[in-house]
Amino acid sequence: MAEDLLIVKGSKTDQYKTLLPQVKSLIETEPDLIANLANIAGALKEQFSWLWVGFYLVKKEELVLGPFQGPVACTRIKKGQGVCGTSWAKATTLIVADVEKFPGHIACSSLSRSEIVVPVIRNADVVAVLDADSENLDAFDETDKQYLEEIVGWIHFDS
Ligand code: SME
């Protein structure tokens, strides 16, 4: 079955508004977690052409690399380490306008200039984080936070 995304140009809000229903329909009838994380990463990469976008999954006391699009990345991140580990520890979305100014930032790619990390919270626990990296400074804002938090809210983690 063909799964073509409709990609639009325009404001960031317009891009998310076109993308979100497509992501929802891709994942709502599919129970497999890895398939859904992979398609979310693929859809976001296709629409926004970020340097890197993907998931880290909480496994025991670490974040472990999950489905992603972009250059190879570090596989394990400890709680409180880097932007991802800090987002996990604080259970909150972090927007980093300039990664060089974030103490402890983990540079998986030297091309990354700004980053957003959105925790996936289920039953009050962080079970994963969605991480996106851009080659541009200050690429992420409250609009990304709003729509990416909406997307991660749709992921079924109990299957
Ligand atoms: N920069 C992240 C590490 C993950 S990569 O960007 C894919 C961090 O500081 O947690």
Ligand 1 nearest-atom number relative to CA 112: 6
Which domain covers residue 25, as residue numbers? Answer: 12-153
Give the residue among 7, 101, 120 at the shortest CA–CA distance from 55: 120
pTM: 0.96
* 85 CA to centre of ligand 1 in angstroms: 9
Task: Assess if residue 51 is contained within a domain.
Answer: yes
User: How far is 114 from 136, CA to CA, in rounded Å?
Assistant: 6
Ligand 1 nearest-atom number relative to CA 52: 7
Band of pLDDT at residue 35, cut at 50, 70 and 90: very high
- Backbone φ, ψ for residue 112 (5° rounding): -70, 130
Ligand 1 nearest-atom number relative to CA 81: 10
Task: Assess if residue 49 is contained within a domain.
Answer: yes
Domains identified in the chain, total number: 1
Give me the pLDDT at residue 3, please.
75
Task: Assess if residue 79 is contained within a domain.
Answer: yes
Give me the pLDDT at residue 159, please.
46
Task: Assess if residue 7 is contained within a domain.
Answer: no
Q: What CATH number does residue 62 fall under?
A: 3.30.450.40
- Backbone φ, ψ for residue 6 (5° rounding): -85, 115
- CB 108, CB 99: distance < 8 Å: no
- CB 56, CB 84: distance < 8 Å: yes
Task: Assess if residue 97 is contained within a domain.
Answer: yes
Task: Assess if residue 3 is contained within a domain.
Answer: no
Read off the pLDDT of residues 76-101 as tens digits, 9 standing for 90 and up.
Answer: 999 999 999 999 999 999 999 999 99
* 104 CA to centre of ligand 1 in angstroms: 10
Task: Assess if residue 81 is contained within a domain.
Answer: yes
